Structure 1
Amino acid sequence: MQSRSGISVLAATFYRRSGGHDSQQPCLSACIAGSTMSTASVIDCLQGSCLCGAVTYQISSRPKAVTHCHCTMCQKQHGAAFATYASVPKPDFRYLSGEDRLTSFRSSNRVTRKFCSVCGANIEWHGSTDYPDWVSFTLATLDMPFTSYKAKHVHLASKVCWLDQTTS
């Protein structure tokens, strides 16, 4: 554990590193509000947004299960060879603005995907029967730096033929 003054210095450094935009301040304030806090707690508080900025969200725990999904649903939804997601417990994912601008699409009998109705950016999906208390969000919508030390490729049977996985 670090002292509050140590956390303040760390938060200021993280704030500058993340671009120092005013939009990051509420997240840092919420993370620093506790009387004692580990370094990981400040770094794990992240914010993201859609392409047009209408939808913003906050993650209050370290994202887990970073996955590059090659299924055809993700390919179609993203218009790309694969989609990259990370997951957090549902209570740790919170919309800061634009929740009324989200459109939901039930892509299967159990999965609901959400995207911005203004710009079309994919934000999240939920409904996994294996992990019903978790939400997966599109990692590329984060506005702050995040480093994953482990990521896996899934549904490789439907990988597009024009993508060489060794260079992805």
Structure 2
Amino acid sequence: MKIRTGSCLCGAVTYRVEGEPLRVGLCHCGDCRKSSGSAFVFFAVWPRPAFSHSGKIATFSGRSFCPTCGSRLFCLRQDAAEIRLGSLDNPPTDLMPGDEVWIKRREPWLHPLPGAGQYGEDAD
């Protein structure tokens, strides 16, 4: 079984996910833009039982981050863990986005990903 690990910038919070994600995508929504400081967020979702973490986290509006360095890491729900893939310890070169969500807010200079589902808002 594949195990991926990740952490915040200062290393105070670490996490791991087991197995393959349920879905991988890019999000162009306003909340992801604001919370990341970027034009989009690269994320993947795993079943909640496949996720574990250590270290103190803070959470705002469902988004968890390190209270020391501010790194945005994951969004935890009862049934799923959504990981910001840039926080993985190793580049996620084997994970390709299958969906792009909130494309109505995608920058015009960003082209749609070939083969990825395109959704104006959240994917169903």
TM-score normalised according to structure 1 size: 0.61
Structure 1 spans left out of the alignment, 5+ residues: 1-40, 107-111
Structure 2 spans left out of the alignment, 5+ residues: 114-124
Measure, in 2, the Cα distance between the counterparts of 1:70 and 1:149: 16
TM-score normalised according to structure 2 size: 0.81
How far did 1:160 drift? 3.1
Aligned length: 112
How far did 1:151 drift? 2.7
Out of 48, 70, 74, the position equivalent to 1:120 is 70
Letter in 1 for 2:20: R
Q: How does 1:4-153 map to 2 (within 5 A)?
A: 41=1, 44-95=2-53, 97-98=54-55, 100=56, 102-106=57-61, 112-127=62-77, 132-146=78-92, 147-153=94-100
User: Which SS does the other structure have where 1:165 is aligned?
Assistant: coil
Q: Per-residue CA shift, 1:25-47, capped at 9, x if unaligned?
A: xxxxxxxxxxxxxxxx1xx1111
Higher strand share: 2
| Structure possessing the higher radius of gyration over alpha carbons | 1
Measure, in 1, the Cα distance between the counterparts of 2:23 and 2:9: 24
User: Which SS does the other structure have where 1:47 is aligned?
Assistant: strand
How far did 1:81 drift? 0.2
Cα 1:149–1:77, aligned 2, differ >3 Å: closer, same or farther? closer
Contact 2:3 2:19 in 1 (8 A): yes
Root-mean-square deviation (Å): 1.8
